Chains A and B, each alone.
Chain A
Amino acid sequence: MEIEPSVVFTIPLFGGIPVTMTVVVEWIIMAVLIIASLIVTKGWKLVPEGTQTVVEVAIDSFNKFVENSLGNHWKEYAPYLGTVALFLIVANTIGIFGFPPPTKDLSTTSALAIMSITTVIIASIRARGIKGFAKSFFKSPIDFFIQMLDLFTRPLSLAARLFGNILAATTIMELISKAVPIVVPAVFSLYFDLFDGFLQMLVFVFLTMLYIEEAIE
C-alpha cells in the first residue's frame, strides 16, 4: 500500500505538470455534480412535483440546519457550506464504486481546511470590520499568542481529522477484502464507506459552521 497518489498522466506544459489520481477523481466528481445539478434543475415549476420536491426538501432542511446556528446570517454562508457538504459526501463515499477517495490525500483535505479558515477570517472581517478583527487579537498580551495558534491549529486539525479517518477506513477495507474477499467486505463497507463518510462530512461542515458562528458573534 502506498500513501502517495499515483500519477496518471502529465500535461506537457511548463516542463510537465503531473496529474495524480486524486485530481482525476475530483474532476469526475465535479463533472457528475455539475451535470446532475443541470439535469435536476431543468424545467422547474412553481408547484413542485417529482424530483423537484425531493431537492427542495433537501435544500430546505440544510438551510434550516445552518439557520439554527448562524441565525440571520445563514443566507451568506449556506451556499458555501452546502457545496462543501455535497462535494465531501460524494468524495467520501466514492470508494463504493472502486475509485480511491480523493479525501484520503492530505493535499485535498488541506485545501478544504484552508478554504474553511479563509471563510472564517472573511466572516470575522465582514462582521466586525478590519479594525475589530485586528482588535480581537489584542484583548490581552497572552491572548495574541493563543489567537495566532488558533489560526494554525484549526485548519491543521480539520485537515488531519478528515484525512486520517478516510485513510483509516480505506486501509481497513483493503485489509478486510484481502482476508475475506466475499460477502464480509459488503457488510463492513456499509459502515466504513457510507456511515463514516457521511459522519465525517457532517463533522467537517459542522465545525466550519461553528467557527463562522464564533467569528460573527
Chain B
Amino acid sequence: MDLLAIGAAIAALTGIGAGIGIGLATGKAVEAVSRQPEAGGRIMQLLLLGGALAEATAIYGLLVSIMLIIFKP
C-alpha cells in the first residue's frame, strides 16, 4: 500500500506542468487583449481551447492517481 500511495502521488505531479502551461497561456492572452481589446472574443475562444488541451494532461495524471488508490492493482 505504501508504494501505491507514492505512485499515486507521483502520478498527480502532472499538475505542475499543466499549471505552468495554463499560467503562461493566460498571461499571454491578457497581454494580447490589453494590446487589442476588440479581439477579446476570439482570444477568449483560443484561450479556452488551449486551456482545455493543457488541462487534459493534468486530468489524465489525476485519473491514474485516483484509479491507483481505488482499484489497488
Q: Which residues of A contact B (CB under 8 A)?
A: 1-3, 68-69, 157, 160-161, 163-165, 167-168, 171, 202-203, 206-207, 210
Contacts and interface: CB of A to CB of B under 8 A. Distances in A.
B49 interface: yes
A61 B43 CA distance: 18
B56 A171 contact: no
A68 to B, nearest CB: 8
B62 interface: yes
B36 interface: no
A163 B55 CA distance: 13
A1 B52 contact: no
Scoring A160, A164, A171 by chain B CB atoms within 10 A of each residue's CB, the highest score goes to: A164
A36 B66 CA distance: 37
B48 A164 contact: no
Contacts of B52: 161, 203, 206-207
Contacts of B63: 160, 163-164, 167
Interface string B28-63: 000000000000010001001101100110011011
Given A168-B62, A207-B49, 12 more contacts: A2-B70, A3-B66, A3-B70, A3-B71, A68-B41, A68-B45, A157-B56, A160-B56, A161-B55, A164-B62, A171-B66, A207-B52
Contacts of A68: 41, 45
Contacts of A171: 66
A206 B45 contact: yes
B66 to A, nearest CB: 7
Contacts of A160: 56, 59-60, 63
B45 to A, nearest CB: 7
A206 B50 CA distance: 12
B62 A202 contact: no
Contact of A203 (B48, B60, B62, B66): B48
B70 A1 contact: yes
Contact of B56 (A2, A161, A167, A168): A161
A8 B63 CA distance: 26
Contacts of B56: 157, 160-161
A28 to B, nearest CB: 26
15 contacts: A3-B66, A3-B70, A3-B71, A68-B45, A69-B45, A157-B56, A163-B63, A164-B62, A171-B66, A203-B48, A206-B45, A206-B48, A206-B49, A206-B52, A207-B52
A165 B70 contact: no
Contacts of B71: 3
A210 B41 CA distance: 15
